[in-house]
């Protein structure tokens, strides 16, 4: 095919597409007024509400800038972002988008040039190190670290006492000890120690990261077969499944329901669960918080992370400069803002300076007068940094695929080999 011919075909196709999309383009250009920063995020009670608070603070000082905060389901934000970036039509993209931390490296790698590097514009040293590391690519830092998923162990101190343990027994324990306590709790109180979906790999992620390991090593190479943390995590998961120390649930609603109905004595997950735990007011004073259990492997700590997200500025955005300044002024500097969102929304930000604020040292009567925020911010500084790589979703799927086999007695070595093979075939 010669060039002229190819050109004709291309331009005809473009013209046809242009005709079809003309209407949408016109609408989009009308929607974005001068000085309007568009933002995509999910969760109206958390991210959206926090962004509205941030926007309010910024417009008070910069009346020229307005904000359009669009609330969508998390899957919709991800899908819209991914398809639009892939299509190359950047007109409909927002200026700022919320990205879950596990997905960030994938987007940065798959769509080079789509996101604006913020190094030099924002002081990233002010944030938790492990959050900054995962948004660094090729020496440049993209994005602005937002909420953390620092994990902790929430437990019912009344049930634990009934089983013959004190609050002291719950501090800085190992997973094996946790399992022993769980067995006692069930024997004495008839309640299960925790609720879990047998297919969910959240606990494996928590265990792995607490030991500073992931599916990939620091260079992004597969780290499965000789990964002691993953091996120990799978072994622990097998123990859970075989001793039946947990209440099986499926889906978020049932899982949170188990906590609120008082069916289980504990939950180990990210700090973002606090709001859901506190939702059952009748259990006020009965809950307490302790550090995440640790694995019996070298480098294991009592701090980990699950989930969390960060703000990213799109390079194609019209209001790019305003967007960067906004994030820098509020999210990277305004300590008072972090006190507000902690108190109103339970959001633990990853700006290290925010930990010095008053709200962080306040006692919470729901947790028996414990200074829970202080604890979480201390753990946040201890979370080991790992390289999530770009294939975390593939890794999760590979691990989840082996769980039914493990429950039926498959050796852990064999499962590790299967995970390695599946991942190796997916990473091309």
Partner 1 sequence: MAPKPTTSYRRFYDVNGWLFVSIALGLIGVFMAFPIVHSLWMSLHAGQGTVVEFVGVGNIVRLASDPVFLKALQNTCIFLVIQVPIMLLLALVMASCLNMPNLRFRGLLRTAVFLPCVTSLVAYSVVFKSMFSYDGLVNHALAWLGLIAEPIPWLNDPFWSKVVIIIAITWRWTGYNMIFYLAAMQNIDKSIYEAARIDGISAYRRFVSITIPNLKPVILFTTVTSTIGTLQLFDEPMNITTVGTVFSDNTLTLSMYIYNLSFKFVPNFGYAATVSYVIVLLVAALAAIQFYAARERN
- Residues in contact with partner 1 by CB under 8 A are 13, 16-17, 20, 78-79, 82-83, 85-86, 88, 106-107, 109-112, 197-202, 247-252, 254, 390-391, 393-394, 396-397, 400-401, 404, 418, 421-422, 425-426, 428
3-state secondary structure of 235: helix
In the bound state with partner 1, the residue whose beta carbon lies nearer, of 32 and 233, is: 233
CB of 280 to partner 1, least distance (A): 17
CB of 91 to partner 1, least distance (A): 16
CB of 114 to partner 1, least distance (A): 8
In the bound state with partner 1, the residue whose beta carbon lies nearer, of 282 and 408, is: 408
Which has the closest alpha carbon to 313: 90, 56, 130? 90
Q: Alpha helices, DSSP H only, in 42-73?
A: 49-61
In the bound state with partner 1, the residue whose beta carbon lies nearer, of 107 and 311, is: 107
- Residues 6 or more apart whose CB falls under 8 angstroms from that of 206 comprise 151, 268, 269, 292, 304, 305, 306
In the bound state with partner 1, the residue whose beta carbon lies nearer, of 17 and 26, is: 17
CA distances from 121 to 9, 360, 387, 393 (A): 44, 28, 24, 31
Q: What is the CA radius of gyration of the chain?
A: 23
CB of 13 to partner 1, least distance (A): 7
Q: Which tokens belong to 182?
A: 């769980």
Q: How far out from the chain centre does Cα 232 lie? A: 23
Q: Which tokens belong to 97?
A: 């988008």
CB of 9 to partner 1, least distance (A): 10
In the bound state with partner 1, the residue whose beta carbon lies nearer, of 63 and 88, is: 88
Counting beta carbons within 10 angstroms of the beta carbon of residue 109, is it exposed (0 to 12), middle (13 to 18) or buried (19 or more)?
Answer: middle
Q: How many other CB atoms sit within 10 Å of the CB of residue 122?
A: 23
Q: How far apart are CA 267 and CA 249, in angstroms?
A: 13
In the bound state with partner 1, the residue whose beta carbon lies nearer, of 82 and 92, is: 82
In the bound state with partner 1, the residue whose beta carbon lies nearer, of 127 and 194, is: 194
In the bound state with partner 1, the residue whose beta carbon lies nearer, of 82 and 133, is: 82
Which long-range CB contacts under 8 A does 83-92 form with residues at least 24 apart?
85/110, 85/111, 85/114, 86/111, 89/21, 90/114, 90/314, 90/316, 91/25, 91/28, 91/29, 91/316, 92/24, 92/28
In the bound state with partner 1, the residue whose beta carbon lies nearer, of 109 and 140, is: 109
CB of 295 to partner 1, least distance (A): 22
In the bound state with partner 1, the residue whose beta carbon lies nearer, of 158 and 197, is: 197
CB of 255 to partner 1, least distance (A): 9
Contact of 149 with 308, CB cutoff 8 Å: yes
CA distances from 218 to 142, 205, 215 (A): 18, 16, 10
- Three-state secondary structure of 73-100: CHHHHHHHHHHHHHHCCHHHCCCEEEEE
Beta bridge partners of 147: 349
CB of 402 to partner 1, least distance (A): 9
In the bound state with partner 1, the residue whose beta carbon lies nearer, of 19 and 281, is: 19
Q: Alpha helices, DSSP H only, in 271-389?
A: 274-278, 320-330, 335-345, 372-380
CB of 297 to partner 1, least distance (A): 24
CB of 378 to partner 1, least distance (A): 28
CB of 200 to partner 1, least distance (A): 5
């Amino acid at each position: 095919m010669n060039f002229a011919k190819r050109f004709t075909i291309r331009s005809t196709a473009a013209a046809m597409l242009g005709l079809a999309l003309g209407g949408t383009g016109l609408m989009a250009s009308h929607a974005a007024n001068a000085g309007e920063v568009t933002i995509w995020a999910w969760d109206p009670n958390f991210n959206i509400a926090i962004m509205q608070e941030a926007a309010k603070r910024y417009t008070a000082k910069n009346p020229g800038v307005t904000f359009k905060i669009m609330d969508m389901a998390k899957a919709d934000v991800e899908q819209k972002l991914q398809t639009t970036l892939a299509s190359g039509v950047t007109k409909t993209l927002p200026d700022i988008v919320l990205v879950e931390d596990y997905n960030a490296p994938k987007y940065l790698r798959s769509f080079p040039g789509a996101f604006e590097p913020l190094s030099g514009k924002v002081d990233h040293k002010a944030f938790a190190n492990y959050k900054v590391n995962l948004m660094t690519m090729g020496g440049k830092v993209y994005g602005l670290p937002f909420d953390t998923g620092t994990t902790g162990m929430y437990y019912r101190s009344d049930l634990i006492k009934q089983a013959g343990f004190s609050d002291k027994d719950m501090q800085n324990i190992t997973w094996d000890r946790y399992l022993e306590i769980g067995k006692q709790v069930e024997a004495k109180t008839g309640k299960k120690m925790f609720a879990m979906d047998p297919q969910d790999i959240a606990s494996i992620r928590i265990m792995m990261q607490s030991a500073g390991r992931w599916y990939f090593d620091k260079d992004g190479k597969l780290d499965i077969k000789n990964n002691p943390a993953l091996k120990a995590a799978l072994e622990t998961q097998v123990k859970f499944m075989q001793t039946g120390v947990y209440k099986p649930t499926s889906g978020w609603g049932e899982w949170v329901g188990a906590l609120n109905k008082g069916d289980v004595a504990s939950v180990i997950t990210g700090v973002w669960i606090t709001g859901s735990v506190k939702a059952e007011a009748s259990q006020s004073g009965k809950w307490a918080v302790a550090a995440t259990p640790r694995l019996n492997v070298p480098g294991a700590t009592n701090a980990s992370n699950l989930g969390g997200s960060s703000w990213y500025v799109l390079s194609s955005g019209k209001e790019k400069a305003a967007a960067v300044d906004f994030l820098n002024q509020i999210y990277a500097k305004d300590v008072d803002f972090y006190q507000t969102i902690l108190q109103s929304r339970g959001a633990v930000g990853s700006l290290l300076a925010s930990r010095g604020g008053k709200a962080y040292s306040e006692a919470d009567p729901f947790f028996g007068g414990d200074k829970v925020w202080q604890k979480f911010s201390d753990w946040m500084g201890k979370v080991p940094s790992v390289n999530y790589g770009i294939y975390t979703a593939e890794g999760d799927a590979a691990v989840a695929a082996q769980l039914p086999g493990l429950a039926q007695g498959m050796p852990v070595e064999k499962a590790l080999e299967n995970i390695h093979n599946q991942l190796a075939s997916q990473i091309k």
